[in-house]
Every structure is written in structure tokens, then in C-alpha cells.
Structure 1
């Protein structure tokens, strides 16, 4: 090979940079260019530096265009939101300007009245002033003051209506109904890592691709890079000499640029994902801001400014990203940072750290926004409670009460006491109804509102009792009583969860009382046991005393024998003493024996009492267990029977219409259920009044007798049924004394009538669920009995499930 040809690679037409001195290598394969080195190192994903420059340039332009389009769309979206907010702000400004103008005119009028009063001279007219003085002492207020107060109230109500018009404005509804303000664009990221073959080499590009940086050790151009994390001794950037001096797995410049390009693409994809997540979060925040009812211009400006600052921060971060520069324009420190990042096992660790920091910053920002929004919601709830009476849709009852109040004020002028009584009751009714409307704003805060709920129910019940007494004296109270009953039923239905909570609380109290009774019995048992222990201790003490007495007797006996031996001459004198002593000892022994018997008798009585108490406790526990089992069995049977209970399609009058799978019947006369009432135990079922005409009866019937009359018979004596009517009348098949008598309770639409039947004890019991009113009749059980209803045209009755 000639000297000129030795400088060029015959295969790749590139400059020779290395010579392979391995003996096994052929002579023509000893001279190596950069391409040859790459092939020897089995590196395939390589491109020429100029080709890489073109690819980087195309990538930069594509990214720039994509960013331009994305930011343009984001700008349009924010412009739409800004326009909506400006329209809403303009509407708010106009409303507040009207309110301020009205207030200013009102202030001017009041100030003018004050000046006129101050400028007026007091004129005394004794005769006229005496009349006014008597009226002033009686009423303490004149008609002018009353008129001024009423005018002020009307003015305040007008302001409240103007404030409520903001919530119902077209601009506000348009902003709140926009479910999608920002359009999420899916940016397709091309992350393909397939090999891009580009082997076109210009004939004039003979030089090996290299950076402008010079190796500090060998003063050669940098052509290779070390990406091995564990190779701390080898240089990260290598020239030809470094490759020879420090053997390692090096990466050529073209491959390094390719890896850097792929890293930038993936980094951009991660960055876009972060920005997209942040953008979605900000969209949600804006949606929340739209949902709540803003009333302050400064809050609008602050929120929009905060979001704009965040968007500017995002744009500023995009502009400061390192991938905005060409790789050849980077400094040595920046390249070292890139090499360290690319040599890491987890190349995106820094990106993850950056993402974590951004999420922390965003979390603080969102927390601040959330606190401001919570404060705004609290402020709006206060305003909503102030004008809740104007916003109520269901205020028909209030209007009826107002009309009744006006009519009452116009009538019965002479009877002032009765009129005042009526006005007081109407006003009390109005206060109770208005108070109940507030439950719609605080129903979820159960712990805070349960006391008000109980109080409202008690006041309604008390007022109903008062009205029921007043109706007997004056029929004018009937309308108030009916309206209050309708409202009471609606009140119970609207706040059923409160009632369920109270019923559950009552059950817990009942269980607590049973537990207390059991605990009390256990305490009594403990007391008895303590008394037994004390008696045993006393018995032990008596035994100890008895032993002590026996020891003394032994001592005395031995002393007596000794004295006999020593003093034989005094035996006669001592015999008497010994007899007395013996009698005394016998008396003591008898007394001890008597006390012992007495204590044993007392102990036996205590043991018997203890056993009796234990038996009673056991019987009480068994009774509780039996009642619990009976209750569970009743619950299961009633639930099963109630689910199976249906109106019959055959055993009914021809005009009866049975619908909803046999659960509802309307029109016609008699309609029996398919299921017979069991002979054992008692049966519980319920009917709900959906619609009510002039006549409607509920109860049980004998199918054999009713069928003979073609289900067209009456409900009175001898027609085979036991029923009650909506007009308080009851009817009996066999008892004339209680047939067609006004002995039961009345019921109307939406009332639920529960029916309890006990065949063995021969009775039927009706109970109105809403008021717990009940009525009982004795029944004849000769025939099989079936649940039945008797309804005129226009009545509709439904089988109701019972929750026990």
C-alpha cells in the first residue's frame, strides 16, 4: 500500500486512525478507520455526524412546530375562559352598580328626612298632644315608624332578589354548563428505536467525526465516549490516544448523538405528560371555580392571575430546557452532565426527581387554591342561607299560610282575642315551616342537625294537638290543620334518614337497657356472693372461738385434777364449784351449738336465695333469647310473606285493575290477595294509599262468602270482611256492636296502613305508620281469611314492603 493510500480506508474512504498489531490479523485489515473500529466493536446503531446533524435539525423543527401549535390551542382555550369570566364579571358589576345606586338613593332619602326632622320646630297643642300621648303609651310606636320598617324590609328583599338573579344569569349558566373548556389534544410522540440505516457517505467527508473539544492529556480531538458507570478511572471523553491507553467499551460520537436524541424525545414525552397532567388538574380547578358562585371581582382576578403565572412558569421552563441548543453549542460542563445522565442505569432519574419537585410545588399551589375555594364556599353558603326563602321551589304551603294570615287579619275585628290567638298559631306554623326549609342546606351534617330535627317534630306534634283542640271550637282551624298534616307527611318523607337514625338510636337504647338489666342482675349476684363470704368468715370465727373454749376447758380439767391430788381435804368444798363450772361450760357449749345451728340455717337460706336468683337470671336470659329468636323469625316470615303477597287477578271485581305484577290495584270494589293468612302465629302486611276517592276500605275477607256475592257486596255485617274506612268507620262480619261505627282512625293519600292478624287469638289490628294510631277488632276464623281491599273508582292502593 502506498503512503498516500495508507492514510485512507479502502473500504469506507475515511481517515486511518488505528493500526491493529495482532499477528493473526491479515495485512489489509490492520489499518482501521472509525467505521472499522465500530464494526470491530459490533456497534450497529451508528450514523455520520453530518447525518446526525440533519436529523437533529429536523427533530428540532418538528418539536418547535408542535409546541407552537399546542401553545396556540392552549392560548385559544384560555381566551375563551377569560371571555366567559369577563362577561360574568360585567354582569356582576352591573348588578352591584344597581344595588349601590339603590342604596345611595335610599341613603340620600334617609339623610334628607333627618335634615327635615332637625329643621322642624316642635309645636305644642295640648288637646291634640294628649290624644297622641295616650296612643304612644299604649303602642310605644306610631304608624309612620311601622311604615318605615316595612319599606326597609321591602328594600332588603329587593336587594336579595337582585343578588339571586346573578346565580340565574345567562352568563353564569353558560360558564357552569361548559363541561369541556379545554380541548385535550393527543400529541403523538414517535419513540421508535428501530435502526435508521443511513450509510450514504460523501466522498469529500474523509475526516472521522469529532468534537471541537481537545483531550487535555493528549491534545487530540474527542472522538469516543465512555458510558460505563463502573469505569471511574477511564476518561468519559476519549481521543485516539485515550482509546489505546485505556481499553474499554467506548461509544462513537454518532451513536452518542443518537442516544442523546432518543433521550431528548423520551424526555420531551415525559415532560409533555407532566404538562398534560398539570393542565388537566388546572382544568379541574377551573371547573370547580366555575361551579361555585363567585361574588367578588378580586377573587376572579387573583385566581386567573395565579393560573396565568403557572402557565408562564410552564412556558419559561420549556424555554430553559437544555434540548433547545445544538449539541455542538454545548459547553464542556453541559456535555459532562449529559454523559453522566446517559451513563446512569436509570437515565430518567433526574427527570423523575424533577417531576417529583414539580408535583410538590403544584401540591402547595393546589393546596393554597383549595383553601381559598373552601373559604369562598363557606361565604356562599352564608349568602345562600340568607336568601333561601326566595330560592325555595316548593313554597306552596308558605303561600297558603300567608293568604290565610291576610284573610284572618281582615276578618273578626271585634273578636280581638280569638283573632290574636289565630294569628299567633299561624305565625308559629309559618315559623316551623320556614325553619324546616333550612334542613336542605345542612342535611348531610347529621350530628349538628339531629337536635333541630327532633325539636321540629315535637313542635309540629304539639301544634297539631293545639289545632285539634281548636278545631272543636272554630272550624276555621281545619284548613290550617290539613295544611300542617300535609306538610308533616312531606317533612317525614323528605328527611327519612333522620327518622331512620332515630329509630336505630331507639333500638340501641333498648339493647342498652337490656344490657343494664343483665348487668344489674350480675351486680346483685356479686353482692349476694360477698354476703356469703362474710357469713363464711363469721362462721370460721365462731369455729375458732369454739376451739378456744375447748382448749380452755381442757386446761381447767387438768387444773381440776391437779387440785384434787394436792387438795384432797378441800374436795367437798370444791365439788360445788366444779359443778357450777361444769354447768357454765355446758351452757357455753349449748350457746355455741345454738349459734352454730343458727348460722348454718342462715347460710342455707342465703344459698337457696342465691340459687333462686341464678334461676331467675337464667330464665331472664332464656326469655331474651326466645324473644330475639321470635323477633328474627317474625322478621324473616313477614319479609318473605310481604314479598310474595300480591293482588289476585281472578278473585276480584271485574272493574278492578291489578298492575305492577300484582302489587297495585285501582277502581272496582272487592279485590283479594292470592295468599291465605296462616293459621299459626300472627301475620303482618301493609297497604299504601296512592290515590283516594270518596270511599276506600282495608282489611281481611272470607273468600267463600265474598265470592258468592261476585265480589260486589258491601263491607258491613254479614258480607264476610273485617275492614276500616278512610272516614274512621270500622266494619265487622259477625259483631253488630262494632259494625259501621266511627271507632278507628282516618287515613288519606300517602298513608301506610299496617295490618296485623292473629288467627289463634282471633283478632285483627290496623296501625297507621305515620302517627302510630291503631285499632283492633275480634274476628271469626271459621273460614280461611285473605288480605283484601274495597275501593271505589278513583282510588289506588299499593302493597307496601315492611322493614322490621
Structure 2
């Protein structure tokens, strides 16, 4: 009905416009008929000659008629893009959707005809057990069986599996109905919420279309009215050019004679100025209406987008204000000061409208800032590309280079103009950047203050712990030196014992010779013989004891020499065979040159690790050396292979990730000591430096030192519960070499 009424109103309006346009034409026709009797034959010929002598001149009347017909045609076209037309179409579409929804959701529950209620009979399914060929009366839904067919149970299945808790068909049916009911509730609530949003969005779009078309119709009507008004204003004289004052009426004749007498030549330009001023006022009014339409359109679009989003706090408060305003308006109707209440409600409504406009403009302002920044970056990017292309030696065409140069000049001029036009925008972005920088600086300052306090405490603690470690290390070295000195003393004692043994042997031979001589001289005397036998027996026992001691010393010496040789050979064999592993490493580490060099090949911002193939021996002091070849990030030390393998040899510098490492900036990483983790207590090193690593499993320590300055060293306690392997970490395409000989 609204669409029909809109068409009737529009047709009636166009009919009135046509009548208004035709009326002056009829009037002019009557005037022409009156003037025909007044003009002479000569004047007619002169007028016709002047009219037809103008080359390629069109009749202004015909041009106006053409404009008028175009305006009427546009009004006819607007009939089928009006809000009433689209509202009618939307009504048809909504009706079809409602019918479709009723068809889809009109579900009728069908009860199977073969099911008859019998309370005395155990409920069962219509299927048969595949093993016992009996009815299914229970179902297992609690066990971990993979096949769904194995969950169905007959009487025999229940008897054979007493440990399984089966549930009856009636109970399962009840659970199934409850489950389907819950799903239907969730789906219904979701569909209700979705339909509510879609309905709200459709209403919003319909309101947008009505507001937009209404505003466009107002602008179009104003423009058409102004067009008709300008046509009427130009009809100050007859459409037929007057070539004689005889055709003028009395009023026009007197006016023109006054102008001729005064010789006023400015009157015509003054008329044009007035027309231009009025036209300028009309253009400003039209511009204001178009800008208002643009704002309303943006506000409607923003409201439509907010329907799809979650309700924000600001939007929720605006909705609360709107609801409260409606409540006040209902209560105010019964109040005596109804007029005052109405004024107050209008003020609140103005506040709500301004809040909606502000919310819309705020989002547009943020989008404008983003577009400005993107546009500025794009200009700079294209400038750089043009500069690169002009300096490119591969471009040999002078014409192409000339075009690039002209393009650069035009772009520079545009960039300067753009900068001048967006000075305020640029200042705003700079202020926002400065504000964010100030906030970051404040946060950084506060963090630095906290860190400085922590660093002071850490330095004190680290100094104490470092002194304790150095003391432990020196104590260990002292114990080792004492053991070495003890070994040397035992060696000297062994040499002295051997010398004494040789002397005792010689002395024994001499004593034996003397005794034999004495025995030969005094063999006849029994007393002398008895004493001689006694002395000889005593000397012989002493000799046997000395020989036994000598054998023990020789045995200990041979075992120690054998053990020392084995340890030395084991350490030398470890040093010779030490090489990087192709298996126990990250896939992003490349091993080359007989497994002596490792390089990181991905450069994706992560640390990757590689272990040596040989485990560190559990006895003796083991040394090995790494040389830094190239790169920016290096870690050297030892690690547990099993733990690092579980972490895929990636980022293994955290506590508990199985490594004892030092970083090239002096930071240390401990597998078991979180207090020392990532603290700068070691020395720094860089490219071409050689780092010597010393490990002693027996005394549970690792020591790092520089070959060019051995006094620069750092000692760290280690966990020896598992086998340890030499390892290193690389970052950002770094490369490290394992040296065969320690410098």
C-alpha cells in the first residue's frame, strides 16, 4: 500500500510540474498572436533574417524543453529505486524465508508402528547378537572398546563378561533423548540469537534505505524546484527575441528608456552577479545536504556493523540511555510539567544522537589515520623503487630513464603537496608516537630501576658464589697437586727402595762370603756354627721380606704405570677421535670437513645444537677446543644427549634442558642451577677466538678459558648423573670448528 501511495503521489507531483511548465508556453502563444497584428511586413522580414542568420545557433527554448523532459524522466526512474519499492521487495523475501523456515522446522515425531508397550518384557533392540544369535538387551558405553559392534550385549554376553558394567536399553534410550533435547535447545537458542541479529540487521538496512532515499528525494526535489525557478527567472522577456521597442509593454519600455538615458552599462553585469550569488547560496545549501547525507550514511553503516559485533561498553551505555529516555517519556505524560519534561527528553535525545555520531566519527578518524600512514609509506616505497630503477645499469633505454625521471618529479611534487595538505595529520601522528614513546620510556625506566636493584643484589650474590667456586676449584687443584706430589714421592721411594734392595743384595753377598769364610775357619766349633746358622737364618728372612716388599713396590709401580698409560692413551684417543655427530644434532645444523665444522643454515631466529659423537671419559681431566669461524651467536660447552634429543636439539639453553654453556656475550646457562641461569659472569669472545673447555667428571666441574689469555676463565659445577657430551649452539648462520690440537 505504501508503494502504491508513493507512486500516486509522485505521478501527481509530475503532473503539476508539467502543467506549471506548459502554462507559460500558452501565455507566450497568446502574446505572439497579439504581436502579429502590430508588426509590419518589413519588421517581420528583418526579424526572421536575424534569427536565421545566426550560424549553428540553437533555440534556448528547445534546450530548456530538453532539460525539462530529462528531469521528468529521472523522476520516473526514481519510482523504482525508492524506499517503498525496496521495502515491498523485502516483504516478499521475508515472507518466503518465513515459509521456508516453517517447512524446515516443522518436524513431526513418528513413533515406529512395530513397537508395542509391554512392561513385563525386557526392552531390546531390533538387532541380533552376532556371536550368540540372541536379542540385544544391554549396551556397554563405559569401556574403551574400539568397535561399536562389540558394545552390544545379549544375555550370554553379560554372563561371559561380568566385569563390564552394561546399561539397559531403557536407560540408554533415556540418555539419548536427553542428549538430543540438549542439542535441540542449543541449536534453538543459537538460531534464535542468529535470527534476532539478522532481523535487526534487515530492519537497520531497510531504515538506511528509507533514510537514504528520503534524503535523496529531498535533494532531487530542491534541485528540480531550483531548475524550474531559474527557468521562470530567465523569462524576463519573451522567448522570441524582441528586435523593436514597439513590442515592449509600457513598464518594460519605461525601464529601458531610463537605462538608455542614464547610459547604465553595469545593470546587466549586476544581474549576472545577483544570479551568481543566488546560485552560490543554492550550491552551498546543496553541498550541506550532501554532506549531511554522507554523515547519515556513515552512521547507519557503522550501526549495521556494530550489530554483527559484540556489544561494547560504550554501545551498551548508549542503549541504556535510550531505554531510560523512553521510560522517562512514558512517565512524563502523567506529570503536570509535561512541557518541561519534553524539553529535557529532547536534550537527552540530542545527547544520544551526538554520542552515536561521535562513535561513528571516532571509528572513521582511526581509519583515516591508518590510511594516511599506509599512503605515506606507499609514497616512500614507490620513491625508493623509482630511484633504484633510475640507477639500475640494466636499464639501457634513455627514453625509459627519462620517463622514470619525469615520474619521479611528478611524484615529488605530489608528495610535497600531500605533506602541505596533511600537516595537522602528521603532527597528530607525531604526538601519538611521542606519547607512546614516553610511555615506553617510563616503563623502561621503571624496569631499569628494578633491574638495577636486582643486578646489585645479583652481583653481590654472584661475587660470593664466584669466590666460593674459585675456592673450590683451587682446592680441587690443590688436591690434584697433592696427589701428584704423593705419586712423585712414591716414585722416589720406589727408586730408593730399589737402590736399597741392590745394596742389601750386595751386602748380603758380602756377608754371605764372610760368613762362609768364617764358617770354614770355625767349622770345628759348634758354638760358632750355631751362631752362624742363626745369623744366616735371620739375614735370609730379612732378605725374603725385602724381596717381597720390592715385588709389591714393583707390582704397584707397574700397575700405576699401566693405568697412567691407559688413561693417557684413552685421553689421546678421545682427542683424536672427537668429532661432531651427524645423528645427534638439529636438522638445521650442517656438519662438514670430516665432522670438524658445524654451521647453522636456516637463520629463522632460533638456537640449534649439535653434540659430539664421543662421550666424555669419567676419569681424568679432559680438554677439547672450539674455534669461532664466523657469525654472531655462539654457545660452547657440554650437554646430556637424551635430554637434548627430547627437545629436538632446539633452544636447549633453558634450565632443565640438559646443557652447561657460555654465550659469546659472557652469559652462562646451567642445567641444574636456576640462580646462575642467563647471568653475565663469564668472559666474552668473538670470531677467530679459540675456547678451551676442561671437564673433570670425578670432581664435577667444567672450566672455560681463552687460548690467547688463559687467565680469562670461568668454572661451573656440573651434574654427572648421566653421560655428558661436548656440544655447541649456533644462531644466525654461525660456524664453529672443532680443533684437533689444543693450542
Per the shorter chain, which TM-score range? under 0.3
Give me the TM-score of the superposition, normalised by structure 2.
Answer: 0.25
Give me the TM-score of the superposition, normalised by structure 1.
Answer: 0.24
